[in-house]
């Protein structure tokens, strides 16, 4: 049986490996988890003993098939709970993360599957991230960053890269959310800032903001 902590590490390894190629480095997990690299090394060894990761000294880790499955089971629970909090318990999309971090560790297959049924088999969570189904399969539809959307072409916001509540609240203030229609009106060469149409209003956003918003063209 897994302790909470090994689950946290597996999830972190999964997320880091999604947003970069090759093996996952000790330091990247240390940053993600908020632990010292030496603690991460210890855990890499433990996970390796359990055949959840492939580990070679000084070369980082990669998840085994079993490790991916375990990680996806946690991601599934995390995203289902986030969906529930927003759809039924009046949570805002910037408030759900911390609570879902706890709920994702609850062990009960029946609970997870019944929650999924109760929510009517959602495919995406409140941040636009796909929810693995019972077979741990998820549809990842093609998406591009707002920085890559050609000028004057319309797109729909379908997700965010940065899930921090600071960024999400900022988007709320700008009235940008999942489903908002976006269009780049002008790209400023000087500082890469963008003039955009967001729903009915026009506004200016920085490059940094734009590269944390996913759109479907």
Partner DNA sequence: AAAAATATTTAGATTAAACTAAATTTTTAA
Partner DNA sequence: TTAAAAATTTAGTTTAATCTAAATATTTTT
Give the residues lining the site for a copy of itself (CB under 8 A).
Answer: 85, 88-91, 95, 98-99, 102-103, 105-108, 110-111, 114-115, 117-118
Q: Which is nearer to a copy of itself, 121 or 141 (CB)?
A: 121
Least separation, in Å, of the C-beta of 103 and a copy of itself? Answer: 6
Q: What is the CA radius of gyration of the chain?
A: 19
Partner in contact with 102, chosen from DNA, a copy of itself, none, beta carbon below 5 to 8 Å by kind: a copy of itself
For the segment 25-54, give every residue that binds DNA (CB under 7 A): 25-28, 33-46
Q: Which is nearer to DNA, 39 or 197 (CB)?
A: 39
SS3 content of the chain, % helix, strand, coil (to 5): 45, 20, 40
Handedness of CA 50, 80, 130, 108 (dihedral sign): positive
Q: Which is nearer to a copy of itself, 116 or 212 (CB)?
A: 116
* Residue whose C-alpha is closest to residue 203's, from 193, 211, 212: 193
Helices 65-88/109-118 angle, 10° precision: 50
Partner in contact with 27, chosen from a copy of itself, DNA, none, beta carbon below 5 to 8 Å by kind: DNA
């Amino acid at each position: 049986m897994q302790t909470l902590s090994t689950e946290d590490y597996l999830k972190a390894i999964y997320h880091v490996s999604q947003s970069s190629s090759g093996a996952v480095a000790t330091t990247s997990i240390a940053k993600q988890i908020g632990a010292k690299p030496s603690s991460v090394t210890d855990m890499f060894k433990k996970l390796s003993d359990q055949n959840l990761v492939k580990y070679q000294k000084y070369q980082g880790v990669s998840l085994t098939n079993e490790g991916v499955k375990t990680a996806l089971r946690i991601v599934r629970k995390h995203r289902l709970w986030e969906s529930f909090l927003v759809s039924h318990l009046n949570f805002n999309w910037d408030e759900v993360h911390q609570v879902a971090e706890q709920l994702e560790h609850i062990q009960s297959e029946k609970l997870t599957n019944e929650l999924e049924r109760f929510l009517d088999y959602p495919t995406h969570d409140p941040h636009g991230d796909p929810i693995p189904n019972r077979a741990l399969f998820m549809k990842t539809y093609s998406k591009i960053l707002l920085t890559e959307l050609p000028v004057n072409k319309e797109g729909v916001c379908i997700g965010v890269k940065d899930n921090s509540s600071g960024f999400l609240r900022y988007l709320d203030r700008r009235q940008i959310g999942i489903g908002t229609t976006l269009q780049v009106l002008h790209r400023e060469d000087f500082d890469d800032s963008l003039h955009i149409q967001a729903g009915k209003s026009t506004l200016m956003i920085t490059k940094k903001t734009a590269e944390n918003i996913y759109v479907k063209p």
